[in-house]
């Protein structure tokens, strides 16, 4: 399971209300939140607590190097 944490005000991190069964679904939703709300958003692996994907307000993106290429491509695709 994967959870999304987001930060709109640079002070308080909040947990998104949904848990995702797939990293693809969590990354897709995190990217959408980041684009729509211009927020810092992390995708967390619930079993380990590790940040797998992170989007920041400056438009940067971190993707864990162990993730499949389709997740890397989804996370780093240009916003059009």
Other beta carbons within 10 angstroms of residue 19's beta carbon come to 14
Predicted pLDDT at 80: 64
- Residues of the chain short of pLDDT 50, as ranges, are none
**The total number of structural domains that make up the chain:** 1
| Residues of the domain holding 12 | 2-76
Predicted pLDDT at 38: 85
Report pTM: 0.87
Distance (Å, rounded) from C-alpha 42 to C-alpha 54? 4
Which 3 state secondary structure label does DSSP give 13? coil
For 17-53, the DSSP string reads EEEESSHHHHHHHHHHHHHHH--EEEEEETTT--EEE
């Amino acid at each position: 399971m994967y959870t999304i944490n987001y930060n709109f005000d640079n002070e308080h991190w909040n947990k998104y209300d949904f848990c995702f069964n797939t990293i693809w679904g969590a990354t897709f939703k995190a990217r959408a939140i980041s684009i729509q709300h211009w927020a810092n958003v992390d995708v967390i692996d619930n079993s380990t607590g590790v940040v797998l994907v992170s989007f920041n307000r400056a438009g940067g993106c971190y993707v864990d190097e162990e993730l499949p290429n389709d997740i890397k491509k989804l996370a780093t695709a240009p916003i059009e």
